């Protein structure tokens, strides 16, 4: 629970003590501000840590009290957190679903309690109507498209006739994993030079990125022309594994990553990554705007995608401004 929430609770308790403890004291407790319950997936990446920090900062700026729970990469923990938010009667629930399936029951409970739910960063899969109000997050499919388009341009530039790709994916059954994979596959499918040798689950985690890369190098060795990794963390885990071989990442193997956190941009500047597609973690301001709108009973957009760009060796990488995450 955040400090701001704790202060709010202490404030309410003190007001209630005053209110109940002093006979004749008729002062009502102050109208409490808006209370937002937010269930975060975990701390698996610099992106995620930046996203948490951004939501905390925005809540403070907008004067919204935040109950923040970190689920440590566990869906059950997220479901428990949402139930606590319902029991606590927060004004709005927001969460970043670790995977797409398995939310119907708890979201029905939120709906029955009359608490609007906002999806942040990732989507859910459901047959039921009206469980959530709005999704604020990246267009992951387009990120995959931008990664694929870069690869086609790079293959043209290098005059490649065959392009063997290994893909290190994010968490299975999560929105960014599914859509980054689909956007990339759809884009390169019209180019007969492109072959995906294998897609392997790296769970968005650095150590898994390293493990996956070790396995891919053992299995395919110098056949590999391209590593397409679904996030920076896994890319940063994979690079030292490539460097243990005679191959040089960024030269002998084209490296494509997603997120564009500072560490990956620094590695792009060193020439060890060729392309990083941006995925911004800065979703806090949009979220707070939506919280206000929902509280006021206003209509909200069903989907809000931030604008994102591509950073690559096709540009002057030294002009890239500090990323902040
Ligand atoms: O859902 C967004 C993804 O999750 C980011 O790409 C990744 O770094 C994070 O863990």
Residue 69 pLDDT more than 80? yes
Q: Which of 137, 111, 113, 112 is nearest to 124 (CA)?
A: 137
CA atoms within 13 A on the CB side of 118: 30
Element of type H or E holding 258: strand 254-259
- pLDDT, tens digit, for every residue of 138-167? 999 999 999 999 999 999 999 999 999 999
With a 6 Å cutoff on the Cβ, whether 325 touches ligand 1 is no
Residue 30 pLDDT more than 60? no
Residue 133 pLDDT more than 70? yes
Pocket-testing residue among 231, 235, 282, 306, ligand 1, by greatest number of atoms within 8 A of Cβ: 231
Residue 211 pLDDT more than 70? yes
**Helix-helix angle 284-295:46-62, to 10 degrees:** 40
CATH architecture entry for 35-138+281-307? 3-Layer(aba) Sandwich (3.40)
Summarize the confidence of residues 219-227 as an average pLDDT: 98
**Every domain of the chain and the residues it spans:** 35-138+281-307, 140-279
Ligand 1: centre distance to CA 232 (Å): 9
Task: Measure the CA–CA gap between 101 and 103, rounded to whole angstroms.
Answer: 6
Q: What dotted CATH number matches 140-279? A: 3.40.50.2300
Residue 316 neighbours by CB under 8 Å, 6+ apart: none
**CA distances to 6, 92, 100 from 297, in Å:** 27, 12, 27
pLDDT given at position 33: 87
Summarize the confidence of residues 216-224 as an average pLDDT: 98
Residue 191 neighbours by CB under 8 Å, 6+ apart: 152, 155
Would you state the structure tokens that stand for residue 102, as one six-digit string?
Answer: 């398995």
Which residue's alpha carbon is at the smallest distance from atom 3 of ligand 1?
A: 176
With a 6 Å cutoff on the Cβ, whether 231 touches ligand 1 is yes
| DSSP SS3 for 277 | strand
Q: For the chain, give the percent of residues with pLDDT over 70.
A: 90
Summarize the confidence of residues 3-24 as an average pLDDT: 40
Summarize the confidence of residues 273-281 as an average pLDDT: 98
Strands 303-304 and 134-136: parallel
Which residue's alpha carbon is at the smallest distance from atom 6 of ligand 1?
A: 231
Would you state the structure tokens that stand for residue 51, as one six-digit string?
Answer: 């996203």
Edge-to-edge strands, sheet with 275-278 = 194-201, 163-169, 226-229, 254-259, 275-278, 310-312
Task: Measure the CA–CA gap between 261 and 281, rounded to whole angstroms.
Answer: 9
Q: How many residues does the chain have?
A: 325
Task: Measure the CA–CA gap between 214 and 209, rounded to whole angstroms.
Answer: 9
With a 6 Å cutoff on the Cβ, whether 278 touches ligand 1 is no
Q: Phi/psi of residue 239, each to 5°?
A: -55, -50
Domains 35-138+281-307 and 140-279 share a fold: yes
């Amino acid at each position: 629970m955040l400090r701001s929430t704790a202060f709010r609770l202490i404030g309410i308790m003190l007001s209630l003590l005053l209110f109940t403890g002093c006979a004749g004291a008729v002062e009502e407790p102050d109208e409490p501000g808006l209370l937002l319950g937010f269930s975060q997936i975990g701390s698996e990446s610099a992106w995620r840590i930046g996203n948490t920090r951004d939501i905390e900062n925005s809540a403070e700026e907008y004067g919204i009290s935040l109950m923040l729970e970190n689920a440590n990469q566990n869906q059950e923990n997220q479901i428990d957190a949402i139930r606590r938010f319902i029991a606590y009667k927060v004004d709005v629930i927001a969460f970043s679903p670790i995977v797409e399936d398995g939310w119907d029951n708890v979201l029905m409970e939120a709906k029955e309690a009359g608490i609007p739910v906002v999806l942040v960063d990732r989507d859910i899969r459901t047959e039921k109507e009206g469980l959530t109000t709005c999704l604020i997050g990246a267009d992951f499919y387009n990120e995959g498209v931008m990664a694929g388009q870069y690869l086609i341009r790079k293959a043209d530039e290098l005059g490649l006739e065959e392009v063997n790709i290994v893909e290190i994916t994010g968490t299975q059954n999560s929105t960014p994993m599914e859509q980054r994979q689909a956007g990339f596959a759809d884009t390169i499918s019209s180019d007969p030079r492109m072959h995906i040798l294998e897609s392997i689950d790296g769970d968005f985690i650095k150590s898994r990125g390293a493990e996956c890369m070790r396995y891919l190098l053992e299995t395919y060795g110098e056949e590999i022309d391209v590593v397409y990794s679904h996030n920076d963390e896994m890319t940063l885990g994979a690079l030292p594994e490539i460097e243990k071989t005679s191959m040089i990442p960024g030269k002998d193997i084209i490296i494509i990553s997603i997120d564009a956190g500072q560490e990956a941009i620094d590695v792009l500047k060193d020439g060890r990554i060729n392309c990083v597609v941006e995925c911004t973690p800065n979703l806090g301001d949009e979220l707070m705007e939506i919280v206000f709108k929902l509280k006021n009973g206003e209509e909200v957009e069903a989907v809000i995608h931030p604008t994102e760009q591509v950073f690559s060796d096709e540009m002057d990488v030294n002009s890239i401004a500090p990323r902040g995450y």
